[in-house]
């Protein structure tokens, strides 16, 4: 079964160090798990590194048996088999049954052909798996807020592309999809069940146009806020979910900032340094602040004719901050699919560059 994990890692600074390029490829393809601090040898003496460096990449035209490599590397055949299973599932290595022991070799007989095979399968499978959004997307057409700010940083993508498989007890098509694209982490456990907290949060994102805050998700689903926050951040790592400023709560943020500054610094500060005079804020707001009758709805009505960007400037002058929320990327299904495919293609292009450079070392 095709099962590819990709970690978006910056390309190595030096293209002339063969071993570092191989280490980068191993890390990008998540072929081993890093534990603790990096080793002094940067992993160049690990079994998977030696399998690639001393065998598959050095002589890509031949096949290798687990028994042969186990004797050469001084590890058990089971350990060698484990590494080859990961390489086969990633589409880089193929296998054939001989007389007893399996024979493993680079797909197509070269690294570049193996990467091309991996790329074609990954693109096809990922595009097919993303079709589930055509069925479950129910955010409606009004997704964009009055004013859209860029996402709050974009983490390096951590992608997983896995072929569809039959469902097991307690799973749904949505929960299985979430597990197969990395939304549930490396070991989903009980989160893969259709009624898990992770699935509930993702269903909220599928049904909500505006961003969802951690507080809203925790209240709606009865989950602990720290756990809800970790789940949403895990979603964000896949590139399918983004974190943005809640500009739909602009009136509430302005209300909070105005009332706070009015109590602390008074009316004169609001007029001069607070931006009321500069941005021609209606005097009616000052009257409501004096009487203590100012509410978010009051501010929304008073500033309805003020441009949204000027309202953002006013909030900044008042020292206020907008809360953050999470939502699915894109304004519609096609945009979400396109953004997710772009993330995949961006990582694969880096792999292709490294593959071309590694091939030159053997020419």
The CA distance from 66 to 98, in Å, is 12
Is residue 363 predicted with pLDDT exceeding 90?
no
CB atoms within 10 A of CB 310: 15
pLDDT value of residue 36: 46
Of the candidate CATH numbers 1.10.10.10, 3.20.20.10, 3.40.190.290, 3.30.70.890, the domain formed by 138-246+324-331 belongs to 1.10.10.10
| Strand locations in the chain (E) | 3-7, 64-65, 93-97, 102-106, 158-162, 241-245, 324-328
Tell me the domain boundaries of the chain.
3-115, 138-246+324-331, 249-317
Which pair of structure tokens corresponds to residue 190?
A: 């009980």
Burial class (CB in 10 A: 0-12, 13-18, 19+), 21: buried
Name the helix (H) or strand (E) containing 279: none
Residues 170-199 have a mean pLDDT of 92
pLDDT value of residue 115: 95
For the four alpha carbons of 161, 163, 164 and 168, in that order, the dihedral sign comes to: negative
pLDDT in tens, 236-250: 999 999 999 888 889
Burial class (CB in 10 A: 0-12, 13-18, 19+), 297: exposed
Q: Pick the closest to residue 80 from 96, 103, 108 (CA basis).
A: 103
Chain centroid offset of residue 334 CA: 18
pLDDT in tens, 79-134: 888 899 999 999 999 988 766 678 889 999 999 999 999 999 999 999 999 999 99
- Contact call for residues 253 and 323 (beta carbons, < 8 A): yes
Same fold, 3-115 and 138-246+324-331: yes
Is residue 361 predicted with pLDDT exceeding 90?
no
pLDDT in tens, 58-80: 888 888 888 888 888 888 888 88
Q: With bands split at pLDDT 50, 70 and 90, how would you rate the model's confidence at 37?
A: very low
Question: Does residue 194 sit in helix, strand or coil?
Answer: coil
**So what CATH class is 3-115?**
mainly alpha
**In the chain, % of residues over pLDDT 70:** 95
pLDDT value of residue 34: 55
pLDDT value of residue 21: 92
3-state class percentages of the chain: helix first, strand second, coil last, to nearest 5: 55, 10, 35
What mean pLDDT value characterizes the chain? 89
């Amino acid at each position: 079964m095709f099962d590819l994990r990709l970690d978006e890692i910056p390309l190595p600074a030096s293209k002339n160090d063969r071993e570092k390029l191989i280490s980068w490829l191993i890390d990008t393809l998540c072929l081993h798990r890093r534990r603790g601090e990096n080793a002094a040898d940067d992993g160049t003496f690990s079994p998977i590194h030696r399998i690639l460096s001393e065998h598959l990449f050095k002589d890509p035209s031949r096949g290798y048996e687990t028994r042969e490599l186990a004797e050469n590397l001084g590890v058990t055949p089971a350990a060698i088999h484990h590494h080859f299973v990961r390489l086969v599932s990633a589409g880089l290595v193929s296998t054939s049954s001989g007389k007893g022991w399996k024979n493993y070799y680079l797909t197509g007989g070269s690294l570049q052909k193996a990467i091309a095979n991996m790329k074609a399968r990954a693109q096809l499978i990922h595009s097919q798996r993303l079709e589930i959004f055509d069925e479950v997307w129910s955010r409606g057409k009004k997704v964009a807020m009055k004013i859209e700010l860029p996402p709050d940083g974009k983490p390096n993508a951590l992608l997983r592309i896995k072929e569809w498989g039959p469902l097991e007890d307690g799973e749904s098509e949505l929960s299985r999809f979430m597990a197969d694209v990395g939304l549930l982490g490396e070991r989903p456990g009980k989160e893969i069940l259709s009624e898990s907290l992770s699935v509930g949060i993702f269903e909220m994102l599928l049904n909500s146009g505006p961003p969802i805050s951690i507080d809203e998700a925790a209240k709606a689903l009865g989950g602990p806020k720290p756990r809800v926050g970790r789940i949403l951040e895990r979603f964000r790592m896949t590139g399918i979910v983004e974190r943005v400023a809640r500009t739909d709560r602009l009136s509430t943020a302005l209300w909070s900032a105005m009332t706070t500054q009015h109590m602390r610094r008074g009316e004169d500060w609001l007029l001069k340094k607070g931006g009321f005079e500069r941005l021609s804020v209606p005097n009616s707001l000052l009257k409501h602040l004096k009487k203590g009758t100012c509410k978010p709805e009051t501010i929304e009505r008073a500033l309805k004719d003020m441009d949204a960007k000027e309202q953002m400037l006013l909030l900044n002058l008042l020292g206020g901050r907008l809360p953050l929320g999470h939502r699915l990327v894109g304004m519609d299904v096609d945009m979400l699919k396109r953004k997710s495919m772009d993330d995949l293609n961006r990582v694969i292009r880096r792999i292709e560059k490294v593959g071309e450079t590694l091939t030159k070392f053997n020419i």
